[in-house]
Amino acid sequence: MITLSNLKNNPGARKNPKRVGRGIGSGTGKTCGRGQKGQKSRSGGNPHPWFEGGQMPLQRRLPKRGFTNIFKKSYDLVSLKSLAGLKVDGPVTPQVLKDQGLIRDAGAVKVLGDGELAGAVEVHAHKFSQSAKEKIEKSGGKVVVL
């Protein structure tokens, strides 16, 4: 039986650290395997991983284009095809879609008209495509814009 007193790791799972600076015979004495002089022999002497040796860095060589609209509203997209497979009694709200795993967070949702609906469903969302609205109403459902 394994208890805390006799708990051991698998053989080879842990390796002893390299002990540097322990004399000539160890193979990593004096300069500790860092060679003689130079940037990499000093403590803390390593440039960041994207340093290009003084060459103009990639992020500065590339042209800057366009801009990012910080007021852009993003929508989680849901198709009628995925709504048709839902087994829900009552209205389909963003929270229901999140619980069913169709969207990531119950934020702004847009319903797209890809697919067909069999039964009458009341759908609550922030936006609907024209075809989605027509198909939902044609199947006897109701469209509620949040």
pLDDT in tens, 85-105: 787 788 888 888 888 888 888
> 6-18: per-residue pLDDT in tens?
999 999 999 999 9
- Identify the residue with better confidence: 107 or 55: 55
Q: Where are the domains of the chain?
A: 19-50, 76-145
Work out the pLDDT band at 110, boundaries 50, 70, 90: very high
**Run of H or E including 81:** helix 80-84
Q: Find which of 80-89, 96-105, 123-132 is predicted with most confidence, using mean pLDDT.
A: 123-132
Of the candidates 124, 126, 113, 131, which has an alpha carbon nearest to the alpha carbon of residue 73?
A: 126
DSSP string across 17-33 = PP--SS-GGGSS-TTTT
The third-level CATH classification (topology) of the domain covering 76-145 is Ribosomal Protein L15; Chain: K; domain 2 (3.100.10)
